[in-house]
Amino acid sequence: MTESKGRQRIFSGIQPTGEPHLGNYLGAIRQWVQQQNAPAPHDALYSIVDYHALTIEMEPGSLDRFTLDLTASLLACGLDPERITLFRQSDVPEHTELGWIFSCVAAMGDLHRMTQFKDKADQNKDNVNVGLFAYPVLQSADILLYKANLVPVGDDQVQHLELARECARRFNRRFGETFPEPQPLLSTVPRLKGLDGSAKMSKSKGNTVSLSEAPEQIRAKLKVAVTDPARLRRNDPGHPEVCNVFTLHGCFTGPANPARVAAIEADCRSAALGCVDCKKELADRIVEQLGPIRDRQAAWRARPDDLRDLLEKGRRKAAEIARATMEEVRVRIGVRAPPNSR
């Protein structure tokens, strides 16, 4: 695949660690689909990063199924493998190869500062493995293997992307100009909070509304969702700017009906609208909009052979770029002689 003039390259990944949720959708996947459908889309690769998922303990054998399920979800959200490259990370071994080389380039001090490591190490106290610590190095390799310059992600990944830029700079300084410095592309909802109102919505935290959630589950979860903590009684004025439910109205009510969002905002501030009704209305909008995604997801999940074929096509496209980068890298670092001197 060659890059046409002026076209940038996008790379992003998602872990097969469970059902994708509203945070993944609003922070990442929706941007991927919008970018793909733009009038002049960039060249984009999206990867199901299964080796990253090994950093947490999982039932042996489940990663393949999770990968196929996630592929179905991404297709259901509108990714079109004819227009982008969708592939499984472990199908392209150059990711781990470049990952090792970057481990010899990245600074321990930089990795020690990663807040996500501290978070996840806290969450998995009995399994703080080296992979969990070194994960951002492999992620830098994921991105730079394709010489991507744009990375559409949620803001929990911004610190990791700084490491990817640092790996590019350090590598280029030591071995010669090879890699671009990739920039994050943040959506309008770069960090959706979980329904418990405390941390970010995460597959591993169980505070999610997943894209495959049944309507009654969506309604039940929203019923107990945390809103504005200062609004204790029905007649207290609300503060929509700190309310997760209002953020979600912006995403699910806003696009078709911005005037309604403005009215919800005003009525929340004046206490004319209570949280119970506000949540019910939001649940209706989410159920309406996730319905078709859920149906398409189920249809794709019933076709595992087609999903495997799609991933294989994606592998071939990704492997071509990966192979070329690694050939260049091997010469740059000196484990191979330049082609014209062989």
**191 scored as a contact of ligand ATP (CB under 6 A):** yes
Identify which of residues 247 and 325 has a Cβ nearer to ligand ATP in the complex: 247
Stretch in the footprint of ligand ATP (CB under 6 A) among 11-19, 137-145, 275-283, 334-342 = 11-19
Nearest to 193 by CA among 234, 235, 165, 229: 229
Residue 150 has phi, psi (to 5 degrees) of -125, 135
Active site residue 203: yes
Stretch in the footprint of ligand ATP (CB under 6 A) among 12-20, 103-111, 280-288, 289-297 = 12-20
Q: In sequence order, what are the beta bridge partners of 185?
A: 152
The three-state DSSP-derived secondary structure of 171-237 is HHHHHCCCCCCCEEECCCCCCCECCCCCCECCHHHCCCCECCCCHHHHHHHHHCCCCCCCCCCCCCC
- Binding flags for ligand ATP, 19-38, as an x/- string (CB under 6 A): ----xx-xxx----------
Torsion sign over Cα 334, 335, 340, 342: positive
**79 scored as a contact of ligand ATP (CB under 6 A):** no
What are the CA-CA distances from residue 325 to residues 106, 321, 331 (Å)? Answer: 19, 6, 10
Identify which of residues 46 and 171 has a Cβ nearer to ligand ATP in the complex: 46
Identify which of residues 133 and 175 has a Cβ nearer to ligand ATP in the complex: 133
Catalytic residue, chosen from 118, 125, 147, 203, is: 203
- Alpha carbon distance 320, 4 (integer Å): 16
- Alpha carbon distance 86, 82 (integer Å): 9
Catalytic residue, chosen from 147, 200, 221, 279, is: 200
Where on the phi/psi map is residue 334: left (φ > 0), alpha (ψ -120 to 50), or beta?
Answer: left
Under 8 Å between Cβ of 35 and 80:
no
How many CB atoms neighbour CB 225 within 10 A? 21
- CB-based closest residue to ligand ATP: 27
**55 scored as a contact of ligand ATP (CB under 6 A):** no
Q: Which of residues 141-160 bind ligand ATP (CB under 6 A)?
A: 153-154, 156-157
Catalytic residue, chosen from 120, 147, 193, 221, is: 120
**124 scored as a contact of ligand ATP (CB under 6 A):** no
Residues in the chain, total:
342
Alpha carbon of residue 214 to chain centroid: 22
CB of 74: closest distance to ligand ATP in angstroms? 11
Identify which of residues 192 and 283 has a Cβ nearer to ligand ATP in the complex: 192
- Where would I find the H helices in the chain? 22-24, 30-36, 50-53, 62-76, 94-103, 108-112, 115-123, 130-144, 158-175, 215-223, 244-252, 258-269, 275-301, 304-333
**14 scored as a contact of ligand ATP (CB under 6 A):** yes
Q: How many residues bind ligand ATP (CB under 6 A)?
A: 20
Identify which of residues 33 and 331 has a Cβ nearer to ligand ATP in the complex: 33
Identify which of residues 129 and 178 has a Cβ nearer to ligand ATP in the complex: 129
Under 8 Å between Cβ of 193 and 201:
yes
Identify which of residues 67 and 202 has a Cβ nearer to ligand ATP in the complex: 202
Q: Residue 79 is which amino acid? A: L
Residue selected from 9, 30, 203, 294 as contacting ligand ATP according to rule CB under 6 A: 203
**200 scored as a contact of ligand ATP (CB under 6 A):** yes
**212 scored as a contact of ligand ATP (CB under 6 A):** no
**192 scored as a contact of ligand ATP (CB under 6 A):** yes
Active site residue 120: yes
Give 19's Cβ-side CA count (13 Å radius).
Answer: 16
Active site residue 147: no
Q: Which residues are catalytic?
A: 120, 200, 203
Chain positions contacting ligand ATP, by CB under 6 A: 14-15, 17, 23-24, 26-28, 153-154, 156-157, 190-192, 200-204
